[in-house]
Amino acid sequence: MSDFVPGIELSRAFYHEVVAPLVPGVAHSAALVGPGSEVLAFDTARSADHDWGPRVLVFVPAGSVAEVRAKVAAGLPERFRGYPTVFAYHGQVRPGVTVTDLSGWLVGRLGFDPRAGVSLLDWLSVPWQRLAEVTCGEVFHDGLAGGGLAAVRAALRWYPEDVWRYVLACQWRRIAQEEPFPGRCGEVGDELGSAVVGARLAREVMRLALLLRRRYPPYAKWLGSALARMPGSTELGESLGVVVAARSWRERQEGLSAAYGRVAALQNRVALAERLDERVRGFHDRPFEVIGGDRFAQALLAAVSDPVIRGLPVVGCVDQLADSTDLLMAPGRARAVTAAVLGLGA
């Protein structure tokens, strides 16, 4: 376990020592992007037990793919630093070097090529995980003419401000819809139901905190790890830990109230909307504490200047519309659902 080398380091060395010498004079870009825990730097020694090895994506003009692919495959050594260079990856045994054209790869992952521009539907129909996979990882070489990976990553680095406000508003709305429920469930003796809703709200707060810090929230396996790496997140993480470990609804409420105050303060510091009171308050005359998530949603929407975005239903991007992995990971489905719900032209 102590000999583990993070995948990004392994792939960087693999490109420079093995792959680059196989493609001299070939205009290309090379990177470790796309799926894989190593792309988001969340890999550990456990990650190496499957779908693991030295990996590089090499992007070349579409007309050169077959030729370069054959040349690379013929020149690969059997092993690199103890790892086979041909191994099982997502059910298919193949070389760790993927040679493809950049536009085709982008359309397959995102549903569009960002170098041609990014529309409102593009922004809202691509899952956060996919946006993270393209903007994280590492580019080892970027030599494609007419704009390569640097241009793609710059275009997708973060939402335009009005889109960001809209997504944040929808995230606050998700909190507003359920914030009194942990207390109400607990009051009638349903501690299990209170715990389930409390955990749901904890997830929404985690996602909100990451979005406020300009980080695309990863999928469930890495959500807590991403929050823990966010500067200044220790106290928020401790509050949410109370929520999920609580044995009573009042203790759960205490943790949620502390967490709400911290993300409210973070929104005020980001200054995308009118500054609001960060304190929790009672839910009507009931003994439940809430932050009043709709206050923050409304303030954000009031600061949106784009009339199209301001006119959207407050339901959000595809991650806020659906939890199905089979939908989120299929760009055509994700785009169709987002377009239909938001009334945007596909």
User: Mean pLDDT, to the nearest integer, of 43-67?
Assistant: 91
Q: Would you say residue 205 has pLDDT above 60?
A: yes
Nearest of 109, 121, 170 to residue 339 by alpha carbon: 121
Tokens of 114: 């960002």
Q: Would you say residue 241 has pLDDT above 90?
A: yes
Nearest of 36, 129, 19 to residue 90 by alpha carbon: 36
Pairing mode, strands 79-80 and 83-84: antiparallel
Per the model's pLDDT, the better-predicted residue between 92 and 128 turns out to be 128
User: Mean pLDDT, to the nearest integer, of 109-114?
Assistant: 96
What pLDDT is attached to residue 92? 87
Nearest of 169, 188, 185, 189 to residue 253 by alpha carbon: 185
What pLDDT is attached to residue 1? 47
Percent of the chain with pLDDT over 70: 99
Mean predicted lDDT score pLDDT of the chain = 95
Q: How far is CA 119 from CA 32, 58, 264, 340, 346, in A?
A: 26, 27, 29, 16, 10
User: Mean pLDDT, to the nearest integer, of 191-211?
Assistant: 98
What pLDDT is attached to residue 346? 65
Per the model's pLDDT, the better-predicted residue between 7 and 3 turns out to be 7
Cα gap 275→278, rounded to integer Å: 9
CB 296 within 8 A of CB 268: no
Q: What is the DSSP letter of 241?
A: H
Q: Would you say residue 85 has pLDDT above 80?
A: yes
Provide the Cα torsion 68, 71, 72, 73; round to 10°. Answer: 120
What pLDDT is attached to residue 296? 98
pTM for the full predicted model: 0.95
User: Mean pLDDT, to the nearest integer, of 138-148?
Assistant: 91
